[in-house]
Structure formats: C-alpha cells, structure tokens
Amino acid sequence: MQRVMASALFRPLTSKWGMQKRWVDGAPMEALASKFIKPNDRLNSFERLEIYNRQYWFRVLDCLYDDYPGLRAVVGERRFMKMATAYLTQYPSDSFTLRDLGNRLEQFLRAEPHWSAPREELALDMVRFEWAQVVAFDGPAHPPLTPDDILDTPPSKLQLRLQPYLTLLELNFAVDDFLIAIKKRESDVLRGEASNAMNSAPKAAVVRKRVRYPKREKVHLAVHRHDNLLYYKRLDQEAFAILTSLSRGITVEDACLEAVTASKRTDVDWSAEIKSWFDAWSALGWFCRTP
Amino acid sequence: MPANAFNGFTEYGIGIGLRVPHYRHILAKKPVVDWFEIISENFMVDGGRPLEVLDTILEQYRVVQHGVASYFGSADKFDREHLKRLKRLVKYTNTPWLSDHLCWGSVDGRYTHDLLPMPYTFAVARHTAEKIRFARDYLEVPICVENVSSYAEYHASEMTEWEFLSEVVEQADCGILLDVNNIYVSSQNHNFDPYEYLNNVPHHRVGQIHIAGHSKFEKYTLDTHDHPVLDPVWKMYAHAIQRVGNTATLLEWDDRIPSFEEVHHEALKANEFRDTQLATTAS
C-alpha cells in the first residue's frame, strides 16, 4: 500500500495543480484511490489522495524554488518549475533532509541540457555554485592546521588537506556577481517546518524585474564559510591551481611549481605572492588536519 | 502527565518552537522561555551556523528534540544514517525526551517529506511499535509519538485512530505527544468526536502536548500552523489538561511566522487554561 501511495504522490500534478486523472496503466485514478482510501461525505477517494499529492509537490517545489534563486533566474521562473518537476520526477528525494533535494541537479542538467537552453553553460555554473553554498553552509569542518602541525615538514613533502566545506569552482561566467544582483531583488522567503500542510501552490511565475545575464569570463572561486557566515572569494588563476593541486594530494612544493610554471604572468614576485596567499588561506582556516 | 518516565521526569512548562526568523531576537534579547523545541533534522548537520546557534541556545535554555523524519510507520527499515545522526544530536542536546510522529513517509529509500497516516491495523501497530522500541533502545532516550493530522482514511483500518495510538504506545511502552490541534483537524476531516479521542488515550503516557493553529476550507480542514490557536482547540486543551494534568506544552507556529513576542504571548495563553483547569480539578 505504501509503495502505491508513494508512487501516486510522486506523480507530477496537472497544469492546474491537480492530481492526474489516469494512473500509469491508463486506468482511472479514482478507481485506484478508492481501492485503499475511503471517501467521506465531502470528498471522494481521489480528492482525499489529491490533498497529499498536492502537498508533496508544493513542498518540494517550494524548497527548490527557495534554494536555487540563481538557477531560477537563469532558466526563467515558469521554466524552472517545469524543470524542477521533471528533475524530481526522475530523482525523488533520497535523503531525510530537504537540504539535499538539489544534490543531483547538476547531473540532471548535464543529462538534459534542453531545460536550460540556450544558457546551458551558465545554468551548470550556477547550479554548481548554489550547491557549493549548501555545502559551505553546514558541511563538516575539521580542526584547522596550526603552524606547529607543519613546522618540521619540508615543502617537498608537505601535503595540505582542505576543509570539506570549501569548494573550488572554475567557472565560465561571473555567477557570484549575478547571484548577488538576483538576491538583491528578492526578499527572504521562509519555509514551514513541522507542519505537514502546504495549502498554496508554489511561488511560481512571480513577475520580477530582469537582471542582465552575465557575460562570458573565466572566474575562479572559492565558496567557503568563516565564523559560520557564507563567503565566495575570487582567486587568481595560479592561486586556484595551487589549491586544486593541494586538494588532490600534491605536495606544497609541486603545487606551487606547477602553478608558477603554467602561469603566463611574468612581472610577479612569486615567493611574496604565494606567501601572501598561504597566509590568507591559513587565516581563513582552509587547511585542516586529517581526521 | 506531569513528570513521568516518558518525558524524563521533567516539568517543563510552556515552550515554543525554535525557528530561524526568531534567532536574532533570541540571541540578542535572551527572552525568558521555559524551553525550546527544536526540529531534530534541522540540526543533524556536520557543522556551520545551525550548530553554532544550537550551542548558544543550549547554554541558556532547556531544549527538547522533535523529529519529522523517523517515520516509525514506514515499512522500510530505519535509515541508519538518520539514526546515527539523531543519536549524535541526542547526546549533544541531552534532550530529556525525544518526539516524532506516528506516521510513515518514506518508501524504498525515497522520501515524501510528509507525515502520512497509517492504516489502523494490528499488524501495522505491531510493526510500528517494534521500530519505536528499537529507536528508543538505540538512542537511549524516552520517546513520545505524536498523533498526526490526516486527510484520508484507509479501508484496511480495523480500529479508530485513538485505539491504534493506544495499541502502539502500549506495545512500544513509549509516551504520547498529544497534539490537540491534530486531533481537532482530523475530527473535522473524519467526522469523529475529538473528546472521545481525548478521553480514550492512555493519559498516564502523555509526556507532552502540542497546540497550533489550523485553516478551514470548504471541504476539509488543514493543519497549517500559520495562525493563532483557535477556540475549539483551546477548549480541547483545557479538557486535555484536566485529564492528563499539568503537562509540558508547546505552541507550533511554522508558517507566516510573526514576531517572537507574538508567538510567545500566544503560547503563554496556555498557562491561563492550565491554571483554570487545575484549579477546577483541585476544588
């Protein structure tokens, strides 16, 4: 019974926010619902099941709507709701927490780029950026490294582990600036928590002033938190390369050497530059001990 | 009931739910509140701001955990990751009891994120009670199960909801989080007398009470938690207090959340009903 009912709840609503009239085999939905749900003096079995079908979709669509304002701006409000419905139909929630609802959005958009056409790349950049923020908000943190921890290890042997809440992103668009502009025009929306009722359709199709799409440009970004507040920090290409190498377990010496060798910049005091980067990253607590 | 085995022998008074829009006010003003109820799943995270807020709250307030995703009634086995994280949080908060809903909500590892009603059968009661016992033994904390509001009934049911609730808690030897508003909502949707429900649950097992607002529509009533508590629910609350005694009570307000003061003021109205009823009982 639970499998049948859950399958009914996971089926998308009609364009008028109602339950589909036909089951997957083409049989009337009313017939299926009446097999396990009693009617009462005001509602038939279909209508009673429909309350739960609607609540499910209102809840999960509302959640994605709130958590992915950037992706919503890229694909457009109405299309976002259709895309989110297709995504959740293919990937129903596999986690006890709604936090993880968008954990396969990038995978979905890569497999079905038509949802974000003609801005496929921008959408992918944005969804990676927004998921990185979910991770940075409440992802795990390990104790940061102290100078004493690495005092006796030469750079040729020193490997530095990065905090798990830190995500490094190489992007083709300045989605950080774009998202800031988007958020400026949006007010905070609060989500219900313990109530199991959703009594209105999701917040789709709200007309808002359009923010100009970002132009193509290479951006290297670290999404992280400091003092439990969320930040995005732009990085020089070489700094990004060093951090990426470190995250792959390459030693500090090799990571720096690779980054400097690959750099096209010539008029740089690399030792001073690299020292200032490492000082900043250490101060931000990005390097951590292995648990 | 007042202090009993199902609420860790505590007498907690009137609490309110800890909600994000009130964080700033609570952390800055440190208002006097008997206790806060937290949604367990909101804090079953690995780090960051949620745990920082929780730390600060725990320094100054009594906290009780209320879950929304244990799904004691799901046919699935427990989600081990969920249980492990829940246990970690139980140790962290030192909650004197833990509550979650008498419902199902996941199938084959897929989550509805809803609190779905169960068919009231003896087989389902036995299965659910086994899961509650397992959770209690694993988590090492008393458990109270909450009656949910519902909009559907099943042909398969063999008993009333209150008989099912009683069957489950007796078999599981656990407590009840008696949600008076949910009883009212379900009574409107399923045409039963809510006082018959209140009168026929094992009162000695009630460890906590919930009150909340709801919304009436033409053909059904929804448990929306976005209003003050309505009169019929206050009357039922007074009756419940008369039956079960001075019990830890919590106001739920989860949507269209007003200021902290307004929510707290609404919650404290429970004191008036409680005092009146207890005085009546004493005389």
Tens digits of residue pLDDT in A98-130: 999 999 999 999 999 999 999 999 999 999 999
All residues of chain A having their beta carbon less than 8 Å from the beta carbon of residue B156 are 1, 36
Model confidence at B30: pLDDT above 80:
yes
SS3 (DSSP) at B132: helix
Model confidence at A190: pLDDT above 60:
no
Touching check for A193 and chain B: CB below 8 Å?
Answer: yes
Q: What number does CATH give the domain B5-282?
A: 3.20.20.150
Q: How close does chain B come to A118, measured CA to CA in Å?
A: 32
**What are residue A206's phi and psi, to 5 degrees?**
-80, 125
Model confidence at B51: pLDDT above 60:
yes
Q: Greater confidence, A253 or A150? A: A253
Residue range A87-95: mean pLDDT, rounded: 96
pLDDT in tens, B167-204: 999 999 999 999 999 999 999 999 999 999 999 999 99
Which chain A residue shows the shortest CA-CA distance from B152?
A48
Count Cβ atoms below 10 Å from residue A152 Cβ, excluding itself: 8
A10 touches A92 (CB < 8 A) = yes
Which chain A residue shows the shortest CA-CA distance from B38?
A194
Token pair for A106: 């990038």
The shortest CB-CB distance from B257 to any of A60, A138, A190 is to: A190
pLDDT in tens, B200-238: 999 999 999 999 999 999 999 999 999 899 999 999 999
Model confidence at A199: pLDDT above 70:
no
Cβ distance A37 to B116 less than 8 Å, yes or no, reads: no
d(CA A104, CA B107): 19
Touching check for B254 and chain A: CB below 8 Å?
Answer: yes
Model confidence at A187: pLDDT above 90:
no
User: In sequence order, what are the residues at sequence separation of 6 or more whose Cβ sits closer than 8 angstroms to the Cβ of residue B57?
Assistant: B18, B26, B36, B38, B63
Domain boundaries, chain B: 5-282
A144 forms bridges with which residues in the sheet? A288
What DSSP string runs through B57-116?
Answer: HHHHS-EEEE-SS--TT-SSPP-HHHHHHHHHHHHHHT-S-EEEESSEEEETTEEEEEEE
Report the pLDDT value the prediction gives residue A188, as an integer from 0 to 100. 42
Model confidence at A205: pLDDT above 80:
no
**Summary mean pLDDT of chain B:** 95
B187 touches B149 (CB < 8 A) = no
* Residue with token string 């102290």: A146
Report the pLDDT value the prediction gives residue A150, as an integer from 0 to 100. 84
Touching check for B9 and chain A: CB below 8 Å?
Answer: no
B278 touches B236 (CB < 8 A) = no
Which of B211, B207, B209 has the alpha carbon at shortest distance from B172? Answer: B207
Report the pLDDT value the prediction gives residue B272, as an integer from 0 to 100. 85
Percent of chain A with pLDDT over 90: 84
Report the pLDDT value the prediction gives residue A148, as an integer from 0 to 100. 83
Q: Greater confidence, A193 or B1? A: B1
B44 touches B68 (CB < 8 A) = no
Which of B186, B251, B208, B198 has the alpha carbon at shortest distance from B100? Answer: B208
Model confidence at B253: pLDDT above 50:
yes
* Residue with token string 């200032």: A276
d(CA B145, CA B72): 9
d(CA A226, CA A172): 25
Query: B120, B158, B211, B254: which to substitute to probe chain A, counting the most A Cβ within 10 Å?
Result: B254
Token pair for A234: 């732009």
Task: Place A89 in a pLDDT band, splitting at 50, 70 and 90.
Answer: very high
B249 forms bridges with which residues in the sheet? B14, B209
A·B CB contacts under 8 A: 153
Which chain A residue shows the shortest CA-CA distance from B225?
A195
User: What size, in residues, is chain A?
Assistant: 291
B221 forms bridges with which residues in the sheet? B216
Model confidence at A208: pLDDT above 90:
no
- Torsion sign (Cα): B6, B7, B9, B11: negative
What DSSP string runs through A79-125?
Answer: HHHHHHHHHHHHS---SSSGGGGGTTHHHHHHH-GGGTTT-HHHHHH
This model of the complex carries an ipTM of 0.95
DSSP element (H, E) containing A168: strand A167-173
pLDDT in tens, B62-106: 999 999 999 999 999 998 899 999 999 999 999 999 999 999 999
Cβ distance A96 to B69 less than 8 Å, yes or no, reads: yes
d(CA A9, CA B235): 35
